[in-house]
Amino acid sequence: MKKLLIIIYYWPPCGGVGVQRWLRFLKYLPLHGWKPTVITTLNGDYPAFDELLLAKVPPECKVIRTKTPTFSGTYKKFSNTSESKVPYGSLETNSTDSIMKRLFIWVRLNLVIPDARKIWNRFAYRSAREELLKDRYDAVITTGPPHSSHLIGLKLKKKYKINWIADFRDPWTQMGYLKNVKRLKITSYFDSLLECRVVKNCDALLAASQKIIADLNCPSDKIHLITNCFDPDDYKQIKREKSDNNFNLNYFGTLPSESNPISVLKAVTQIYKRGITNIKMNFWGNISNDVQMQLSKFDENNIVKFHQYISHDKAIGAMINSDMLLLMINNVKNNEGIITAKIFEYMGSGVTILGVGPIDSEPAKILQETKSGKMLQYDDVDGIADHIEMVYDLWKQGKKTSPGDISKYSCLKLTEKLNSVLDKSTK
């Protein structure tokens, strides 16, 4: 079998949809003749933990874990108890934040390039070097975020002339949360230099969206669109439970302040005033404190309920037993290409999706193409209300919208495409 070395920061027991991309690819790559080895963290800064995901790591996959200092460890030492959790998915601050928090965020934005996870790089590089010296690998893959992981691949490429593929799950210098914060120009300049060096020196580049491809100055024969995906196996043997008399509009995952769904709550409140009082909004996962405060303040009719983060398996079960799924696209500049991994898991559930974001975006086109849902603008309260009520009326009649063909987004199909890229880059 051909041997593949993957350097990845977020790996089980890390939770969240960001882990799923390579967990799924590595499940099916052995069927194409690849034997994977993963180098990852032993104690990384994770947005959530899901121990059950460890059982989904394929038995063919060798996992090497390295210890590393963490930004959260330093942050906790210098912050008070109530602020001991490092911000994730957003680097915005406001006047109510402590001076210590604002200082740490400023340092992270302007003095740490490209990101705080690069503290892991020397440990990961050491393990990768040892592995390359004792065994022969046909290709090395680095995946980001964190994009600092690509600097490990860059160093290995120069030292050992490896076949190196860089995987961009999200943008680097065009990352959405960087658009809403002030950053020193010199910091942005050096960050762009690092991005250019990675793009220039890797043998192939994978991108999860067309917008990422458009933003990178990369030859077309070198860059390949491989979106995130869903695994049909995740939905097998999950039965739809009997509905509770409520129409449940559910959200799953991290919800930063840039994705505030206040317009959706206003729409549901509008429907409530029309006499439909059994629509409920449930949020499962890491919900920004700002979002929780604003929704709670506006929620006069007890429509909203917040739930703690749940394991991936339970989240899939809860998705299937939803009546409508809420997809929020971060309301930031350059957001037309934000295709969250969540959209594919939503599609796999077969439940209709309400998207809130730019209507000319890539996720909007995917929803339209697959007939999986509809994207509406952030401030289109009336349009959101009308669409929810239309789906609600079908639900009352025991009917639902019929999704189209989503097979091209299954991990089986996309692993075949990935295998073609690997074969081409290793010949």
Q: Are residues 236 and 225 in the same domain?
A: no
Total residue length of the chain = 427
pLDDT tens-place values along the chain, 427 residues long: 999 999 999 999 999 888 999 999 999 999 999 999 999 999 888 888 999 999 999 999 999 999 887 766 665 655 554 444 555 555 656 666 677 777 777 887 888 899 989 999 999 999 999 999 999 999 999 999 999 999 999 999 999 999 999 999 999 998 877 776 788 899 999 999 999 999 999 999 999 999 999 999 899 999 999 999 999 999 998 888 877 799 999 999 999 888 999 999 999 999 999 999 999 999 999 999 899 999 999 999 999 999 999 999 999 999 999 999 999 999 988 788 889 899 999 999 999 999 999 999 999 999 999 999 999 999 999 999 999 999 999 999 998 888 899 999 999 999 999 999 999 988 7
Alpha-carbon distance 280 to 285, whole Å?
16
Joined tokens for residue 372: 């999986």
Q: Are residues 164 and 300 in the same domain?
A: no
Q: Are residues 216 and 306 in the same domain?
A: no
Q: Are residues 337 and 199 in the same domain?
A: no
- Looking at the domain assignment, is residue 95 inside a domain? no
Joined tokens for residue 328: 């929020």
* Domain coverage including residue 373: 232-407
CATH number at residue 332: 3.40.50.2000
- Looking at the domain assignment, is residue 143 inside a domain? yes
Q: Are residues 56 and 25 in the same domain?
A: yes
**φ, ψ for residue 328 (rounded to 5)?**
-110, 125
Q: Are residues 331 and 369 in the same domain?
A: yes
Q: Are residues 153 and 296 in the same domain?
A: no
- Looking at the domain assignment, is residue 94 inside a domain? no
Alpha-carbon distance 166 to 188, whole Å?
21
Nearest-5° angle of CA 77, CA 79, CA 85? 90
Q: In 3-state terms, what secondary structure has residue 103?
A: helix
Cis amide prior to 47 (ω within 30 degrees): no
Q: Are residues 265 and 128 in the same domain?
A: no
Q: Pick the closest to residue 78 from 112, 47, 46, 102 (CA basis).
A: 102
- Looking at the domain assignment, is residue 80 inside a domain? no
Q: Got the DSSP string for 41-69?
A: ESS---S-B-GGGGGGS-TT-EEEEE---
Q: Are residues 258 and 225 in the same domain?
A: no
Q: Are residues 185 and 304 in the same domain?
A: no
Domain count, the chain: 2
Beta bridge partners of 140: 5, 164
- Looking at the domain assignment, is residue 109 inside a domain? no
Q: Are residues 193 and 252 in the same domain?
A: no
Q: Are residues 215 and 248 in the same domain?
A: no
Q: Provide CB contacts within 8 A for 118, sequence distance 6+.
A: 112, 146, 148, 151
Alpha-carbon distance 370 to 56, whole Å?
28
